[in-house]
């Protein structure tokens, strides 16, 4: 269990630093490594730790380089393009939204050529013009979540369509909830998507 | 007080109001001279105006247009078409006694002449011609230009009758199906201004009524364009970030709009010819949209989310001295937005959430008194007519969202558009003076 934590941290760190020039290394996970590899012999512990790091990096690189199959590619695309929902008149990312954004993170880290556009949308209630500003705020909020976790902000365009492009046409809470969203569109770099390391 | 009221009232209006009282059901109150000016305009005692049949092939159209314009003006009561008043046997000689017996206070006569249309207004009470003028009728009969010229004639009659020029010779711009449309004030000649390939929004007229500024939502961002009424377009603000809700300054030299980037949309002002924009709101990361200037251009009303939810504020034109336009009751959490400052500077219309739907409201700036203008269906995005009396709203009262014109004094409403899904209307200035 401890090793899994360490491994994930290292892989994220290596992919993040090497591939995405991330400024936000998951420091907490990395620094847990020395304390979790407990050994009586200092030399043995060091060797084990170094071997683990080498193995982890090698595995991460191998995984990162592996080009996805058609089925995997479609799955990666659908994760990337999955919309993020928002509450009424709000632009904060919800718990559900965080899960959807977290699923995009490893794909964006692994595929550094990917460029995406986030479009912000609102439900039909309220001012059409204010809703355009709210839509932009939602798209920016989703972009900030990704950039705060190491994705270069230059890879993400934002645009707002307010209530102009509803996903559902009804005037009821179900439709409104579907329309309060950020959509994700792949602009480029998805020709041969690589599978993120597990 | 009686004297001053009378002094302020144009001569015919005074007499028409008096006659309306004498011939109506409120004869007893007519003896109280103090009340004449007050009773006039309450909707029950408007002067009765008869529009005489118009000779000629297009006479029926001319008469119908003018009768409808005067009716839409909400300042007079237009007598039925079949009112049996004999036409003058000789020009300028009307059977005033017959008119008075029919409850008519003023008679409108239009004669088609080679130069255009000869307009005559008879004052029944004074038994004389009150005003006459000949106006030109350009274009072929029933063309847009010809109809607009007749609307100008209607506005002239209304000015003679009431002292206030009508608003028939105006146009309304709006959004339908992602395009900007323009329609005459009587609902005729609706036509798209922008191409179907552009998703356009938020039209607003130049003060001269000859061009329209609007925003276009493009894949990479939104941009601001100005189009003349023939569709010649130039770009004022490039599609970088969010650029929306444009409006001309009252002198037409500048365009205020909302520009948004990450975490904050602020109001900016740019020269109408383009160039570098300067910020004119202090939103500190909040969303500020939908600017509308006071007539002197020194104050600005706008929607802002600076207090956590959208509300209407007014500020100086540099963003300072921002105040909430209308106080909220302590329990209220209404969403208020989309202000439009009246051309006379005295009031602001806006929309406010009332029981889940949006209604149009007007606030008088002198005393900050708020009046709800609409109740039936949702009634959004109110915009003033140049008379500072009528507003156009996007209303769902018929089951489909349409533009309706509401008289803020009487509440009377008429449907302006017939195609569905119309919204975000803006009214032009008077196009004929």
Q: For the residues of B242-294, what is the DSSP string, one character each?
A: EEEEEEE-TTSSEEEEEEEETTEEEEEEEETT----EE----TTSBEEEEEE-
Transcribe B152-165 into DSSP letters.
Answer: HHHHHHHHHHHSS-
Looking at the fold, whether A86 and A175 belong to one and the same domain comes out as yes
Looking at the fold, whether A165 and A103 belong to one and the same domain comes out as yes
Looking at the fold, whether B91 and B155 belong to one and the same domain comes out as yes
Buried b (16+ CB within 10 A) or exposed e, B160-179: bbbebbbbbbbbbbbbbebb
Asked if B427 and B414 count as a contact pair (C-beta separation under 8 A), the reply is no
> What is the pLDDT averaged over residues B206-231?
95
Interface of A with B in 31-70 (CB under 8 A): none
Say yes or no: B179 contacts chain A, CB-CB below 8 A: no
Q: Is B234 among the domain residues?
A: yes
Looking at the fold, whether B243 and B374 belong to one and the same domain comes out as yes
Top residue of A124, A133, A176 to mutate, by most chain B CBs within 10 Å, is: A133
Transcribe A86-118 into DSSP letters.
Answer: --TT--SPPHHHHHHHHHHHHHHHH-TT-EEEE
Q: Is A180 among the domain residues?
A: yes
> In the predicted model, is pLDDT for residue B96 greater than 70?
yes
Give the whole-angstrom CA distance, residue A166 versus residue B351. Answer: 22
* Residues whose CB falls within 8 Å of the CB of residue B125, separated by 6 or more in sequence, listed in order: B15, B16, B18, B19, B100, B105
Q: Is B14 among the domain residues?
A: no
Of B178, B199, B290, the CB nearest to A127: B290
Say yes or no: B199 contacts chain A, CB-CB below 8 A: yes
Q: Which domain holds residue A175?
A: 70-188
A133 with B242: Cβ contact below 8 A: yes
Looking at the fold, whether B152 and B280 belong to one and the same domain comes out as no
Looking at the fold, whether B283 and B237 belong to one and the same domain comes out as yes
Domain limit, last residue, from A32, A65, A98: A65
Asked if B231 and B211 count as a contact pair (C-beta separation under 8 A), the reply is no
Looking at the fold, whether B138 and B182 belong to one and the same domain comes out as no
Say yes or no: A148 contacts chain B, CB-CB below 8 A: no
**Where does the pLDDT of residue B43 fall: very low under 50, low under 70, confident under 90, or very high at 90 and above?**
very low
Q: Is B246 among the domain residues?
A: yes
**Where does the pLDDT of residue A62 fall: very low under 50, low under 70, confident under 90, or very high at 90 and above?**
low
Q: Is A197 among the domain residues?
A: no
Q: Which of B182, B145, B169, B259 is nearest to B426 (CA)?
A: B182
The mean pLDDT value of chain B amounts to 89
B351 with A127: Cβ contact below 8 A: yes
B381 with A130: Cβ contact below 8 A: no
Looking at the fold, whether B296 and B182 belong to one and the same domain comes out as yes
Q: What is the pLDDT of residues B121-168, one digit of tens each?
A: 999 999 999 999 999 999 999 999 999 999 999 999 999 999 999 999
Start-to-end C-alpha separation, chain B: 33
Q: Which domain holds residue B394?
A: 175-427
Residues of B in contact with A126 (CB under 8 A): 310, 335, 337, 358
Looking at the fold, whether A173 and A111 belong to one and the same domain comes out as yes
* Residues whose CB falls within 8 Å of the CB of residue A57, separated by 6 or more in sequence, listed in order: A10, A11, A14
**Where does the pLDDT of residue B44 fall: very low under 50, low under 70, confident under 90, or very high at 90 and above?**
low
Looking at the fold, whether B141 and B187 belong to one and the same domain comes out as no
Q: Is B256 among the domain residues?
A: yes
Looking at the fold, whether B152 and B206 belong to one and the same domain comes out as no
Looking at the fold, whether A49 and A78 belong to one and the same domain comes out as no
Q: For the sheet with B423-427, list strands across it.
A: B191-192, B179-184, B171-176, B423-427
> In the predicted model, is pLDDT for residue A16 greater than 90?
no
Of B199, B217, B289, the CB nearest to A133: B289
Domain limit, last residue, from B132, B162, B192: B162
**Where does the pLDDT of residue B334 fall: very low under 50, low under 70, confident under 90, or very high at 90 and above?**
confident
B202 with A130: Cβ contact below 8 A: no
How many structural domains does chain B have? 2
B242: domain CATH number is 2.120.10.30
Q: What is the pLDDT of residue A151?
A: 97
How large is the C-alpha radius of gyration of chain B?
23
Nearest Cα residue in chain A from B259: A133
Looking at the fold, whether A29 and A85 belong to one and the same domain comes out as no
Looking at the fold, whether A47 and A60 belong to one and the same domain comes out as yes
Residues of A in contact with B221 (CB under 8 A): 159
Q: Is A198 among the domain residues?
A: no
Asked if B360 and B342 count as a contact pair (C-beta separation under 8 A), the reply is no
Looking at the fold, whether A44 and A58 belong to one and the same domain comes out as yes
Cα dist from B225 to B203, B237, B244, B328, whole Å? 10, 7, 10, 36
Looking at the fold, whether B407 and B272 belong to one and the same domain comes out as yes
Domain limit, last residue, from B140, B162, B184: B162
Domain limit, last residue, from A17, A50, A65: A65
Structure tokens at A146: 């990704």
Looking at the fold, whether A61 and A118 belong to one and the same domain comes out as no
Looking at the fold, whether A50 and A148 belong to one and the same domain comes out as no
> What is the pLDDT averaged over residues B190-208?
96
Q: Is A195 among the domain residues?
A: no
ipTM: 0.86
Looking at the fold, whether B405 and B256 belong to one and the same domain comes out as yes
**Where does the pLDDT of residue A1 fall: very low under 50, low under 70, confident under 90, or very high at 90 and above?**
very low
- Chains A and B form CB pairs within 8 A to the count of 91
Shortest Cα–Cα distance, A130 to chain B (Å): 6
Residues of A in contact with B305 (CB under 8 A): 130, 133-134
Domain limit, last residue, from B162, B193, B212: B162
Residues of B in contact with A127 (CB under 8 A): 289-290, 303, 310, 337-338, 351, 380-381
Question: How far, rounded to the nearest angstrom, does the alpha carbon of residue A176 sit from its chain's CA centroid?
Answer: 25
Q: What is the pLDDT of residues B74-86, one digit of tens each?
A: 999 999 999 999 9
Q: Is A193 among the domain residues?
A: no
> What is the pLDDT averaged over residues A180-187?
98
> What is the pLDDT averaged over residues B209-221?
94
Looking at the fold, whether A160 and A105 belong to one and the same domain comes out as yes
Give me the half-sphere count of Cα atoms (radius 13 Å) on the Cβ side of residue A69.
2
Domain limit, last residue, from A36, A65, A94: A65
Q: Is B85 among the domain residues?
A: yes
Q: Is B10 among the domain residues?
A: no
Give the whole-angstrom CA distance, residue A131 versus residue B265. Answer: 11
Top residue of B243, B259, B265 to mutate, by most chain A CBs within 10 Å, is: B265
Q: What is the pLDDT of residue A8?
A: 40
Q: What is the pLDDT of residue A70?
A: 83
Nearest Cα residue in chain A from B423: A128
Question: How far, rounded to the nearest angstrom, does the alpha carbon of residue A13 sit from its chain's CA centroid?
Answer: 15
Check residue B327 and report its DSSP letter.
Answer: P
A130 with B287: Cβ contact below 8 A: yes
How many structural domains does chain A have? 2
Task: Kindly report the backbone phi and psi dihedral angles of residue A6, in degrees, each rounded to the nearest multiple of 5, phi listed first.
Answer: -60, -45
Q: What is the pLDDT of residues B257-294, one digit of tens each?
A: 999 988 799 999 999 999 999 999 999 999 999 999 99
Q: What is the pLDDT of residue A2?
A: 39
Give the whole-angstrom CA distance, residue A148 versus residue A151. Answer: 7
A174: domain CATH number is 3.30.1330.60
Percent of chain B with pLDDT over 70: 89
Shortest Cα–Cα distance, B399 to chain A (Å): 13
Residues of B in contact with A164 (CB under 8 A): 178, 199, 201, 217
Looking at the fold, whether B153 and B223 belong to one and the same domain comes out as no
Q: Is A196 among the domain residues?
A: no
Give the whole-angstrom CA distance, residue B432 versus residue B256. Answer: 26
> What is the pLDDT averaged over residues A1-29?
40
B381 with A128: Cβ contact below 8 A: yes
Looking at the fold, whether A95 and A118 belong to one and the same domain comes out as yes
Helix (H) or strand (E) holding B383: strand B379-384
Looking at the fold, whether B240 and B296 belong to one and the same domain comes out as yes
Shortest Cα–Cα distance, A159 to chain B (Å): 5
Looking at the fold, whether A114 and A99 belong to one and the same domain comes out as yes
């Amino acid at each position: 269990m401890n090793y899994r934590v360490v491994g994930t941290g290292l892989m994220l760190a290596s992919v993040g630093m090497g591939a995405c020039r991330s400024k936000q290394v998951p420091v907490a996970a990395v620094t847990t490594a020395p304390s979790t590899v407990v050994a009586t012999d200092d030399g043995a512990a060091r060797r084990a730790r170094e071997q683990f790091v080498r193995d982890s990096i090698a595995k991460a690189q191998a995984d990162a380089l592996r080009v996805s199959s058609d089925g995997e590619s479609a799955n990666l695309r659908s994760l990337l393009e999955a919309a993020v929902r928002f509450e009424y008149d709000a632009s904060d990312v919800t718990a559900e939204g965080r899960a959807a954004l977290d699923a995009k993170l490893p794909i964006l880290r692994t595929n550094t050529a990917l460029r995406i556009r986030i479009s912000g949308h609102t439900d039909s209630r309220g001012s059409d013009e204010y809703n355009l500003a709210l839509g932009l705020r939602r798209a920016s909020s989703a972009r900030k979540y990704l950039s705060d976790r190491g994705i270069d902000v230059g890879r993400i365009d934002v645009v707002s369509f307010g209530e102009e492009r509803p996903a559902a046409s009804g005037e009821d809470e179900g439709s409104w909830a579907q329309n309060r969203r950020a959509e994700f569109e792949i602009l480029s770099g998805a020709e041969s998507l690589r599978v993120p390391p597990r | 007080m009686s004297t001053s009221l009378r002094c302020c009232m144009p001569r015919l209006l005074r007499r028409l109001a008096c006659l309306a009282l004498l011939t109506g059901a409120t004869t007893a109150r007519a003896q109280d001279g103090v009340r004449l000016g007050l009773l006039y305009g309450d909707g029950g005692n408007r002067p009765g105006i008869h529009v005489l049949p118009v000779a000629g092939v297009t006479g029926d159209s001319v008469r119908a247009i003018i009768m409808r314009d005067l009716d839409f003006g909400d300042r007079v009561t237009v007598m039925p078409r079949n009112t049996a008043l004999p036409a003058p046997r000789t020009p300028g000689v009307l059977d005033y006694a017959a008119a008075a017996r029919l409850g008519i206070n003023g008679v409108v006569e239009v004669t088609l002449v080679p130069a255009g249309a000869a307009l005559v207004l008879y004052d029944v009470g004074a038994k004389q011609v009150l005003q006459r003028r000949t106006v030109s009728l350009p274009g072929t009969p029933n063309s847009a230009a010809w109809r607009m010229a007749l609307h100008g004639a209607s506005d002239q009659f209304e000015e003679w009758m009431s002292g206030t020029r009508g608003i028939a010779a105006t146009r309304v711009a709006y959004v339908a199906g992602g395009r900007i449309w323009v329609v005459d004030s009587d609902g005729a000649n609706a036509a798209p201004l922008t191409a179907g390939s552009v998703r356009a929004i938020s039209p607003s007229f130049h003060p001269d009524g000859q061009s329209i500024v609007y925003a276009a939502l493009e894949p990479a961002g939104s941009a601001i364009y100005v189009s003349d009424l023939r569709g010649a377009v130039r770009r004022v603000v490039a599609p970088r970030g969010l650029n929306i809700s444009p409006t001309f300054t009252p002198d037409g030299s500048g365009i205020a709009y909302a520009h948004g980037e990450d975490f904050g949309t602020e109001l900016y002002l740019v020269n109408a010819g383009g160039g570098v924009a300067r910020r004119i709101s202090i939103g500190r990361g909040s969303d500020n949209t939908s600017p509308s200037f006071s007539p002197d251009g020194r104050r600005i009303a706008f929607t802002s989310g600076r207090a956590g939810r959208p509300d209407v504020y007014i500020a100086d034109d540099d963003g300072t001295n921002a105040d909430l336009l209308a106080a909220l009751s302590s329990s209220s959490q209404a969403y208020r937005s989309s202000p439009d400052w009246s051309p006379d500077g005295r009031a602001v219309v806006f929309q406010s959430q009332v029981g889940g739907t949006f209604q149009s409201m007007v606030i008088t700036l002198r005393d900050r008194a708020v009046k709800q203008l609409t109740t039936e269906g949702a009634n959004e995005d109110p915009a003033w007519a140049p008379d500072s009396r009528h507003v156009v709203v996007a209303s769902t009262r018929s089951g489909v969202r349409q533009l309706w014109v509401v008289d803020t004094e009487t509440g009377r409403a008429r449907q302006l558009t017939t195609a569905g899904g119309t919204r975000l209307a803006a009214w032009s200035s008077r196009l004929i003076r």
